[in-house]
């Protein structure tokens, strides 16, 4: 091949340009500190860089944001629980001090006042927040744990839960109210004698609240529920399916309703939601007819027709409607009751934000779909009890959202009505009579709405106090209403199932189901840490109720002590023998009442030592749980820090240049470029004469 000068010049210019490009690339690397300016520079490094950057971004989110937020939340919780344990420790000390029999009434008054102050601090601590989010109220982070002022919020069906060990006793000094120092000198009044002052003790279940809104002739009732084990606990299996129609429609009144209706040729599966009963039945032409009926009067509310694919084509009198057909699983529940083996099929229908009922194929059974997607199955047998007054028994089964059994039991509900309710207006004579009747067995149960107590006969007390614990549920419930609240009262929705009616007469159903309120932060790949501690894990209403018990007993003791002092003063100025006898008789009666009451308050303080210690134990468990979460998070943080450092190093090694190496390469490129210029210059100086 013949090489000409022109060819040599062109090749030299090409090489000069390449050398210049190489020098420019290295110079750009040094200026940016990166190996790449565009993906095409090195596709392998570019792909690896994208993956590493993604990992670094995720790790940074976990380490620098999520984990730090979680740590802060846990630290705030730890500080709050630490305050709670300190308060309860002081409360135990005060109760121990109050159990000293040598203390005067003034000493007891100081101790009760101090315990009251501690109780206020206890509930105030429950309103601690992190970044404006209350830490003990679960998902309701915008609502404090307790009321901060007097209010008349209307709560009904408060479901107060207990176990058998919650059963205690209540003592009352009968005829104490007859002691009246103001009328002792009145010859027309009867003397009160020592034998008239007697003490009666009955069983007691103390509720979480007092001052309940019950009044004579208002028709309000309360209910006491107790649970017993089935002959054989229920089991379940998801073994079949059913077709359902998901229906959403808007009424002519502009109300939007959602409902899922199982397709059932026999129309045994009936859905009751918001006062409307729905049933879906296939027609002869292959379509489906959904009938909606008012549950109150049985009148037809609307009729919908959907195609065989579940598409709405006749919306009746609704303003608008859409539908679709879907297949849902069915769980079969099996248990052994008093009458033998029972099988119940329950379609696993979705939650819609409020409870609704399903009348099941098995006659007499109903499933309630709770707002959290769990189910409560009841046989609705309402078998009347032969032993307990106003009591019926049903089988109850709690089912999780996936169809497995949460708990199963036989539940007896005793309804407490007017004659067995003590009101705020009830007289001392009526209260005395209630205690006397319970002690003698003439009555089984009395509900004291003022003090918030279920009082019971010895027979009922023995029954309830020996109930065995049941898996995943409490053995005792009391359902009642309350609407008068004071500062420091825990909001019922933070501890119990209940119903709230707002100022617009709208009702909210709280805690209908078994699902928890766990707030978790993602702190790693497929890894999360729960940060919130629920109210029931730390707080109870017992601390305030303990102080209320002591205050009430102390006021009774003060009253009798004042009466006794007045009687003794009057005795010193009397000369009439009959009057002296009368006053002495009442002094003896008052002294006996004082002795009873002093012994009762002594017993109360001893009980409060145990009660406060139990509350402290609960708080200490919460401290341990929160500490365990913090320790785990510390380990996660340490690992995240190491992983972040490792991936950032890998990212840097992949993308960043070595400046020393780059400087050396730049020098080499510059020398090469200059050499290429010199070589080309020599070639360019050659002419034809050099070849002649």
pLDDT tens digits, 537-570: 999 999 999 999 999 999 999 999 999 998 888 8
Range name among 78-92, 185-199, 344-358, 458-472 with the lowest pLDDT average: 185-199
The whole-angstrom separation of Cα 497 and Cα 353 is 15
| 3-state helix vs strand vs coil in the chain, percent to 5 | 40, 30, 30
Mean pLDDT of 58-69: 87
Match 């792909």 to its residue by tokens: 47
What's residue 615's pLDDT?
95
Please give the C-alpha separations between residue 481 and each of 144, 221, 446, 485, 489, in angstroms, as whole numbers. 21, 9, 16, 12, 14
Q: Quote the tokens at residue 308.
A: 């065989």
Is residue 136 within 8 A of residue 535, CB to CB? The reply is yes
Residue 18 has pLDDT above 70, yes or no: yes
The C-alpha atoms of residue 297 and residue 267 are separated, in whole angstroms, by: 19
Q: Is 494 left (phi over 0), alpha (psi -120 to 50) or beta?
A: alpha
pLDDT at 180: 82
In percent, the amount of the chain with pLDDT more than 90 equals 64
Which range of residues forms the domain containing residue 266? 232-384+401-409
Q: What is the pLDDT of residue 603?
A: 94
Give the residue-averaged pLDDT of 312-326. Answer: 92
Q: What is the pLDDT of residue 562?
A: 92
The whole-angstrom separation of Cα 348 and Cα 173 is 55
Inter-residue contact 540 to 532 (CB < 8 Å)? no
Distance between CA atoms of residues 470 and 411, nearest Å: 11
Q: Identify the sign of the CA torsion 675, 678, 682, 683.
A: positive
The pLDDT score that the predictor gives to residue 425 is: 93
SS3 at position 228: strand
What total number of domains does the chain contain? 3
Q: Are residues 474 and 368 in the same domain?
A: no
Q: State the pLDDT at residue 684.
A: 63
What pLDDT does 13 receive? Answer: 73
Burial 172-186, CB ≥16 within 10 A → b, else e: bbbbbbbbebeebee
Overall residue count recorded for the chain in this entry? 692
pLDDT of residue 1: 59
Strand ranges (DSSP E) for 196-295? 198-206, 222-228, 232-250, 256-262, 270-273, 276-282, 288-294
240 and 186 in a single domain? The answer is no
Rounded average pLDDT over 255-263: 92
Query: Does 238 lie in the same domain as 375?
Result: yes
Half-sphere exposure at residue 265, Cβ-oriented, CA atoms within 13 angstroms: 3
Nearest to 327 by CA among 263, 402, 370: 263
pLDDT for 50 equals 76
Write down the pLDDT at residue 662.
66
Same domain, 431 and 375: no
- What is the C-alpha separation between 473 and 406, in angstroms, rounded? 9
Rounded average pLDDT over 465-478: 94
263, 315: one domain: yes
Res. 582 pLDDT band, cuts 50 70 90: confident
Least confident interval from 5-19, 129-143, 195-209: 5-19
Q: Supply the mean pLDDT for the chain.
A: 89
Distance in angstroms (rounded) separating the CA atoms of residues 633 and 627 = 10
Average pLDDT for 608-635 = 95
* pLDDT at residue 661 greater than cutoff 90: no
SS3 category, 86: helix
- Alpha helix (H) residue ranges in 344-468: 428-440, 458-465
Banded pLDDT at 3 (limits 50, 70, 90): low
Query: Stretch 419-426: mean pLDDT, rounded?
Result: 94
59 in a structural domain: no
Per-residue pLDDT, 71: 93
Same-domain check for residues 376 and 423: no
For the chain, what is the total number of helices (H) and then of strands (E)? Answer: 9, 29
Sign of CA dihedral 183, 184, 185, 187: positive
Looking at 66-80, 209-223, 559-573, which range is the least confident one?
559-573
pLDDT given for residue 36 in this prediction: 66
Span 6-14, average pLDDT: 72
Residue 48 lies in a domain: no
Report how far residue 181's alpha carbon sits from residue 567's, in angstroms, rounded to the nearest whole number: 6
The per-residue pLDDT for 90 is: 97
| Backbone torsion region of residue 592, taken as left when φ is above 0, otherwise alpha when ψ lies between -120 and 50, otherwise beta | alpha
Q: How far apart are CA 359 and CA 272, in angstroms?
A: 8
For residue range 366-412, list pLDDT tens digits in order. 999 998 889 999 999 899 988 898 999 999 999 999 999 999 999 99
Q: What is the pLDDT of residue 392?
A: 95
Q: Lowest-pLDDT range, 70-84, 120-134, 259-273? A: 259-273
* Predicted pLDDT of residue 592: 95
Tell whether 373 and 437 lie within a shared domain: no
Following DSSP, what letter does each residue of 243-260 receive, concatenated? Answer: EEEEEEEE-TTS-EEEEE
Residues 353 and 486 placed together within one structural domain of the fold: no
Pick from 13-17, 71-75, 108-112, 175-179: least confident: 13-17
Whole-number Å distance between alpha carbons of 334 and 239: 12
Per-residue pLDDT at 61 exceeds 90:
no
Residue 661 maps to a domain: yes
Rounded to 10°, the helix 67-98/105-125 angle is 170
Residue 691, both tokens: 């070849």
Q: Element (H or E) spanning 501, and its range?
A: strand 497-501
Same domain (yes/no): 477, 553: yes
What's the whole-number mean pLDDT along residues 494-508? 89
Distances in whole angstroms, Cα of residue 228 to Cα of each of 338, 346, 386, 626, 655: 12, 23, 16, 34, 69
**Contact predicate 541/158, CB 8 Å:** no
Alpha helices in 33-136 (DSSP H): 43-60, 67-98, 105-125
CB count within 10 Å of CB 256 equals 10
pLDDT value of position 63? 85
Radius of gyration over every alpha carbon of the chain, rounded to an integer in angstroms: 40
Find the mean pLDDT for residues 102-124.
95
Burial 398-421 (b: 16+ CB within 10 A, else e): bbbbebebbbbbbbbbbebeeebb
The string of pLDDT tens digits covering residues 166-207 is 999 999 999 998 888 777 777 777 888 999 999 999 999 999
Q: Is the pLDDT of residue 687 over 60?
A: no
Q: Is residue 392 part of a domain?
A: no
pLDDT of residue 657: 72
Q: How far is CA 502 from CA 152, 153, 213, 352, 381, in A?
A: 10, 7, 16, 21, 34
Mean predicted confidence (pLDDT) in 21-33 = 69
Place 35 in a pLDDT band, splitting at 50, 70 and 90: low
Mean pLDDT in residue range 467-486? 94
Report the distance separating Cα 561 and Cα 556, nearest Å. Answer: 9
Domain membership flag for residue 42? no
Tokens of 138: 């679960």
Q: Are residues 110 and 162 in the same domain?
A: yes
Average the pLDDT over 284-304 and give the result: 91
Coil, strand, or helix at residue 412? strand
Boundary of a domain, candidates 375, 409, 443 = 409
Residue 525 confidence (pLDDT) above 70: yes
126 touches 148 (CB < 8 A): no
Does residue 379 share a domain with residue 442? no
Residue 198 Cα distances to 428, 447, 493, 644, angstroms: 14, 22, 41, 76
CA distance 185 to 172: 27
> Quick check: 361 pLDDT over 60?
yes
Q: Is residue 331 part of a domain?
A: yes
CA-CA distances (angstroms) from residue 637 to 28, 51, 138, 527, 531? Answer: 38, 22, 24, 12, 14
pLDDT for position 191: 84
Domain boundary among 354, 376, 409: 409
Q: Is the dihedral of CA 607, 608, 610, 614 positive or negative?
A: positive
Residue 49 resides in a domain: no
Question: Do 470 and 619 lie in a common domain?
Answer: yes
Residue 168 domain-assigned (yes or no): yes
* Averaged pLDDT for residues 288-300: 91
């Amino acid at each position: 091949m013949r090489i000409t000068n022109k060819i040599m010049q062109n090749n030299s210019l090409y090489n000069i340009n390449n050398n210049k490009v190489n020098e420019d690339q290295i110079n750009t690397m040094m200026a940016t500190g990166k190996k790449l300016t565009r993906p095409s520079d090195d596709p392998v490094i570019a792909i690896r860089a994208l993956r590493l950057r993604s990992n670094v971004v995720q790790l940074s989110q976990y380490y620098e944001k999520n984990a730090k937020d979680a740590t802060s939340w846990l630290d705030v919780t730890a500080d709050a629980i630490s305050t709670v344990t300190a308060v309860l420790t002081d409360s135990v000390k005060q109760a121990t001090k109050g159990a000293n029999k040598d203390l005067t009434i003034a000493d007891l008054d100081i101790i009760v006042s101090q315990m009251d102050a501690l109780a206020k601090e206890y509930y105030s601590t429950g309103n601690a927040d992190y970044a404006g989010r209350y830490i003990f109220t679960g998902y309701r982070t915008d609502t404090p744990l307790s009321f901060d002022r007097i209010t008349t919020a209307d709560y009904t069906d408060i479901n107060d839960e207990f176990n058998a060990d919650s059963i205690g006793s209540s003592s009352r000094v009968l005829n104490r109210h007859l002691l009246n120092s103001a009328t002792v000198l009145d010859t027309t009044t009867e003397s009160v004698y020592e034998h008239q002052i007697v003490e009666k003790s009955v069983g007691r279940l103390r509720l979480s609240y007092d001052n309940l809104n019950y009044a004579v002739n208002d028709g309000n009732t309360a209910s006491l529920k107790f649970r017993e084990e089935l002959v054989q606990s229920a089991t379940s299996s998801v073994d079949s399916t059913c077709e359902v129609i998901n229906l959403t429609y808007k009424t002519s009144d502009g109300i939007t309703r959602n409902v899922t209706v199982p397709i059932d040729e026999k129309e045994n599966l009936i859905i009751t939601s918001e006062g409307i009963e729905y049933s879906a039945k296939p027609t002869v032409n292959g379509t489906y007819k959904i009938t909606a009926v008012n549950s109150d009067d049985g009148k037809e509310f609307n009729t919908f027709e959907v195609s065989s694919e579940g598409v709405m084509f006749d919306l009746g009198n609704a303003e608008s409607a859409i539908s679709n057909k879907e297949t849902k699983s069915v769980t079969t529940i099996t248990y052994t009751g008093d009458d033998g083996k029972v099988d119940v099929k329950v379609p696993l229908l979705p939650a819609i934000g409020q409870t609704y009922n399903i009348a099941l194929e098995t006659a007499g059974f109903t499933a309630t779909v709770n707002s959290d997607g769990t189910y409560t199955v009841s046989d609705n047998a309402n078998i009347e009890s032969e032993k307990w007054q106003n009591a019926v028994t049903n089988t109850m089964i709690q089912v999780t959202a996936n169809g497995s059994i949460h708990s199963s039991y036989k539940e007896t509900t005793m309804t407490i009505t007017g004659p067995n309710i003590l009101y705020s207006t009830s007289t001392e004579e009526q209260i005395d009579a209630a205690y006397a009747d319970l002690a003698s067995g003439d009555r089984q149960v009395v509900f004291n709405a003022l003090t918030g107590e279920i009082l019971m006969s010895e027979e009922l007390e023995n029954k309830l106090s020996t109930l065995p614990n049941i898996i995943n549920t409490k053995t005792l419930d009391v359902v009642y209403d309350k609407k008068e609240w004071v500062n420091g009262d825990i909001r019922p929705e933070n501890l119990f199932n209940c119903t709230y009616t707002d100022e617009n007469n709208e009702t909210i159903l709280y805690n209908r189901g078994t699902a928890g309120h766990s707030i978790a932060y993602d702190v790693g790949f497929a890894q999360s840490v729960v940060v919130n501690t629920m109210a029931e894990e730390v707080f109870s209403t017992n601390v305030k109720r303990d102080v209320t018990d002591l205050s009430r007993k102390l006021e009774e003791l003060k009253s009798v002590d004042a009466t006794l002092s007045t009687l003794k003063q009057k005795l010193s100025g009397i000369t009439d023998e009959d009057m002296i006898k009368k006053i002495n008789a009442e002094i003896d009666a008052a002294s006996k009442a004082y002795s009873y009451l002093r012994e009762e308050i002594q017993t109360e303080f001893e009980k409060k030592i145990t009660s406060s210690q139990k509350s402290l134990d609960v708080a200490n468990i919460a401290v341990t749980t929160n500490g365990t979460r913090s320790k785990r998070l510390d380990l996660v943080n340490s690992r995240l820090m190491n992983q972040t450092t490792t991936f950032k190093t890998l990212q840097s090694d992949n993308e960043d240049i070595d400046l020393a190496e780059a400087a050396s390469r730049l020098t080499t490129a510059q020398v090469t470029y200059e050499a290429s210029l010199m070589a080309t210059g020599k070639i360019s100086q050659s002419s034809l004469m050099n070849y002649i």
